[in-house]
Amino acid sequence: MKAHADRFLVPTSGKRTYEVTGQIQRIVRDSAVKTGQATIFVRHTSASLIIMENADPSARTDLHGFFDRLVPENAPWFVHTCEGPDDMPSHIRMVLTGCSLTVPILDGDLALGTWQGIFLFEHRKAPHTREIAVSVIGQ
């Protein structure tokens, strides 16, 4: 049994999803863990981590559209407005989608289904550099 930790950075350029499956698979292989689990964690309050279909990009287009409609900018009752119109929605979108994912490891690889990819979901318009921490535990 061992515990392995690593981190990586993802530059973002606006509100949308960015696939990070490959970076996490590399960390899992580096760990040499065959049976166990990986926890992926984004260290910010205005970006999320999600698992989403990675085959047809149009599915992610509609996902982005849904969240833009569900959490509108400029809600008249917002009081936390000092950091711009996309700031408060970014925190709400992060809470709805989560900043942590745990995925089993089977036979030395993430137990993802055929169409599952891991994505950073950026909720701010301005460019950011996001840090993702990964913890792998197993044998």
Angle made by CA atoms 104, 66, 117, in degrees to the nearest 5: 25
Contact 49, 40 (CB under 8 A): yes
Q: Is 32 in the site for a copy of itself (CB under 8 A)?
A: no
Question: Binding residue for a copy of itself (CB under 8 A) from 9, 22, 80, 129?
Answer: 80
Angle at the Cα of 130 (from 109 to 114), degrees rounded to 5?
Answer: 30
Residue 23 makes contact with a copy of itself by CB under 8 A: no
Cα separation, 7 vs 84, in Å, equals: 29
In 3D, which of 62, 53, 64 has the Cα closest to residue 17?
64
Who's near 57: CB < 8 A, 6+ residues apart? none
* Interface with a copy of itself (CB under 8 A), residue from 10, 23, 39, 73: 39
The CA R_g of the chain, rounded to the nearest whole Å, is 16
Give whichever of 18 and 41 is closer to a copy of itself, judged by the CB atom: 41
Q: Is 137 in the site for a copy of itself (CB under 8 A)?
A: yes
Indicate whether 41 belongs to the interface with a copy of itself (CB under 8 A): yes
Contact between 20 and a copy of itself per CB under 8 A: no
The single residue among 14, 84, 95, 126 that binds a copy of itself, judged by CB under 8 A, is 95
Across the strands, what pairs with 116? 53
Rule CB under 8 A: which residues touch a copy of itself? 1-5, 33, 35-37, 39, 41-45, 50-53, 56, 58-59, 61-63, 65-66, 70-71, 75, 77-80, 88, 91-92, 94-106, 111-116, 131, 133-135, 137-139
